Structure 1
Amino acid sequence: MLRILVLAMATFAVGTDGFVINGLLPAVARDLGVPVAGAGQLVAAFALTYAVLSPVLGALTARFARTRVVLGGLGVFVASNVLTALATTYEVAMASRILAGAAAAVITPNVVAVAVALAGEQRRGRALALVMGGLSVASAVGVPLGTWIGGTDWRLTLWLVAAVGAAAWIGILVGVPALVLPGPARLRDRLAPLADRRVLAAALTTTLTFAALYTTVTYVAPVLAPATGGDAGLLAVLLAITGIAGVAGNAVAGHLTDRRGARPVVLGGLTGLIVLQALLLLPVSMTVAVVWAVGGAVVWLTVVGQQHRMVTLAPQSSTAALGINGSALYLGTALGSAAGGVALGIGGTGAVVGTAVAIAAIAAVFTAATFRPSPAKVTV
């Protein structure tokens, strides 16, 4: 599992980059001269770029060794974060976030595919949990640290992200062998799993789940402001609690998925997400904020369960299915960020939370109606 831990460094870098902007939105907005809702669209741009380009770039790079593709993506990723750190206008910052999203679209699905191939069938759930654990550790360490550093200067945080990406590049270059895995080279073939209604339903579950989550998470600073008083240090502590809970939830999710299957894990995670978002409809005291932060563990049940669901539904094209799931995840992030920005402008943080609860409920009902266990044996 050592090589898989090295691969998790890449998802840690991507996760830190994708999540850390959320806690910095007020500072970014002030520096670039835009409203907080406008700064939130930097998150949406990153996510939408990932969603759209993931299958396209996957098709263009299919004939190359996956590890080399990851290394190329990490190089672009580091450069884009340096550009964000140097940006003096909203337009340059937006362009750099689009570039970072394109890099992430190359990195994440290829890292997951390599991890699945290295792990073997019996440890596939644990391998997925470890790789996706890079994202949860990013929440536990990268995001709080970046938010705390960003309390002084948000640009320092982007330099930190670039450094993490460079470290991941070195680790993979040294520690992970070059693997050429079977996968569709044409864009049509990469999207072919969507012809299966079960795969399409699974992708919609991922989109709805992350739309519900990121409607509030993108605007976590103003949503939790009644508890933090706008203090970056307190927000960093709450984000650290959320991240640590996510690491625990991620570890539990891998074992539960291997033992009980993906369906109960995914539905359990969605039920928890509804409760978690509804909690923020109460007056947001520090107690409420801490409970919300600890409850973040439930989200990772859905993340790992959905990955497993995809490779089980499409056993002969698991790489393409994982790419679709990644696109669906980031499409949901983009939609949630956009919806939260609109809600914030219309009705403040209360409207943001209400919108998130409604989307989470839709996700749970839709998934309960469409998710059926599959007996297919997973192969890569």
Structure 2
Amino acid sequence: MPLAVYVLGMSAFALGTSEFMLAGLLPAIASDLGVSVPDAGLLVSAFAVGMLVGAPLLAVLTLRMPRRATMAGLLLVFVLGHVLGAVTDDYATLFASRVVSALACAGFWAVGAATAVSLVPSDRRGRAMAVMVGGMTVANVLGVPSGAYVAQQFGWRAVLWCVAVCALLALGGLLALVPQGSGSGGSGPRLRAELRAYTDGRVWLALATTALTSAGIFAAFSYLAPLLTDTAGLPVSWVPGLLALFGVGSVAGITLGGRFADGYPFGTLYAGIGAVALVLATLALALPTGAAVPLAVAVFLFGVAGFAVSPALNARVFALADAAPTLAGATNVSAFNLGNTIGPWLGGLTIDAGLGYPSVCWLGAGLSVAALGTVGVSATLSHRRAAGTTSGPGPHDRMAGL
């Protein structure tokens, strides 16, 4: 794997830390800026919405620009956004800085994903994406807990400074190791040519699979802490350790998924998404027992299954939208974030309806089953297309899951 791909993974680590770190800093931010905790919570929503909207918007606006220069510019904007947030005493300014940072993050992820897959042969796209997604995963395992510790010792502003420094280091690595000519430039793809790839219904099925899978995972993960304490009756002090266990599982899952995504894309999707549904159903049944060891194993396996599918989800979209690499990365980012937004919202509705915390596990399992349905339809369409050709599937078709 080229070193440039690992630089992109390091960049994803800085971006991921910023995206997820704020949840643990909300009380301190609210107290410091004189706002309510729910108002501070809107900073998390601002970043999510910025990611959802920003990925396709920035992909279109930067489509004809050299990718390395685009990524460098976006990382610089990301750094400046965090510096602004670190020095301001105004909530509105901090809110604006989060929106700007989210737009830069979304744009970088879209262009970075397209760059990562362009730096490797077509049969190693899944592994390349595993490195990038792995950066986000490690951010959850190391970056977010480290940010919480730094905030406790030096204040929440210090965390923003740390993320800015990490992004600057990533910027230096990008300029040093990502080839000047990587990706599209003035002679690159035009918007109309990239949009043409989206006339294939299988692309939309792949995006639907991404959104449904993400929604199923985050419908349950967002409420994992109260599930373990309120429903299972485990001590609150156990929650950080169990969340870390989930993180370790996610690193194992992303590594495992990256190995199989290229050679067996549909098999990886079937196995991974099916495992998510099975683990969530098991977790729902095990929670009332309060049995610590089975619950710990279930949480670990949830992390493994939930992240094992990520490389295949990304590789699938890139394979189908091969002529639209930048928009493929952008729309899949939006699909992920759409699921991240809808899943917790639906989970909140089931809890408010009086169905209890375990209902989010059954909801996540149901959404995962729906995702399996889209995979099945997509596989059927792909096999029919392959059967309709006389020359047999080419490399592109094999990467699309045939």
Shorter-chain-normalised TM-score: which range? Answer: 0.7 to 0.9
Q: Which amino acid aligns with 2:395?
A: K
Q: Which amino acid aligns with 2:176?
A: V
Q: Among 291, 297, 306, which residue is 2:297 paired with?
A: 291
Contact 2:215-2:364 within 8 A present in 1 as well? yes
Provide the C-alpha distance between the structure 1 equivalents of 2:226 and 2:78, rounded to a whole number of angstroms.
28
Q: Which amino acid aligns with 2:60?
A: A
Q: Unaligned 5+ residue runs, structure 1?
A: none
Q: Which amino acid aligns with 1:262?
A: P
- Structure number with greater Rg is 2
1:226-275 deviations in Å (ceiling 9; x for gaps)? 467444xx54433332222222211211221233x211101211112223
Aligned residues: CA RMSD: 3.1
Deviation of 1:130 after TM superposition, in Å, equals 1.8
Q: Answer 1 or 2: higher relative contact order, Cα 8 Å, separation at least 6.
A: 1
Corresponding position of 1:365 = 373
Q: Among 258, 263, 267, which residue is 2:266 paired with?
A: 263
Q: Among 212, 216, 219, which residue is 2:220 paired with?
A: 216
Distance 1:247 1:269, change over 3 A: same
Distance 1:117 1:146, change over 3 A: same
Deviation of 1:134 after TM superposition, in Å, equals 1.2
Mapping for residues 1-380 of structure 1, pairs under 5 Å = 1-24=2-25, 33-34=35-36, 41-85=42-86, 91-150=92-151, 153-179=155-181, 181-182=183-184, 183-186=188-191, 189-226=193-230, 229-231=235-237, 234-259=238-263, 261-281=264-284, 282-283=287-288, 286-287=292-293, 289-295=295-301, 296-343=303-350, 347=354, 349-372=357-380, 373=382, 375=393, 377-378=395-396
Contact 1:138-1:243 within 8 A present in 2 as well? no
How many positions carry a matched residue from both structures?
Answer: 374
Deviation of 1:189 after TM superposition, in Å, equals 4.8
Distance 1:189 1:176, change over 3 A: same
Q: Which amino acid aligns with 2:281?
A: A
Deviation of 1:307 after TM superposition, in Å, equals 1.2
Q: Which amino acid aligns with 2:80?
A: A
SS at match of 1:62: coil
Q: Which amino acid aligns with 1:158?
A: L
SS at match of 2:309: helix
Q: Which amino acid aligns with 2:177?
A: G
Q: Which amino acid aligns with 1:361?
A: V
Q: Which amino acid aligns with 1:17?
A: S
Contact 2:118-2:182 within 8 A present in 1 as well? no
Corresponding position of 2:387 = none
Provide the C-alpha distance between the structure 1 equivalents of 2:291 and 2:338, rounded to a whole number of angstroms.
31
TM-score (norm 2): 0.81
Contact 1:191-1:324 within 8 A present in 2 as well? no
Q: Which amino acid aligns with 1:305?
A: A
TM-score (norm 1): 0.85
Please, which moves more after superposition, 159-168 or 16-25? 16-25
Please, which moves more after superposition, 212-221 or 88-97? 88-97
Deviation of 1:103 after TM superposition, in Å, equals 0.9
Deviation of 1:70 after TM superposition, in Å, equals 1.0
1:116-147 deviations in Å (ceiling 9; x for gaps)? 22222343332222222212222222123234
Please, which moves more after superposition, 60-69 or 288-297? 288-297
SS at match of 2:395: coil
Percentage of pairs with the same residue: 33
Provide the C-alpha distance between the structure 2 equivalents of 1:85 and 1:346, rounded to a whole number of angstroms.
40
Provide the C-alpha distance between the structure 2 equivalents of 1:208 and 1:22, rounded to a whole number of angstroms.
23
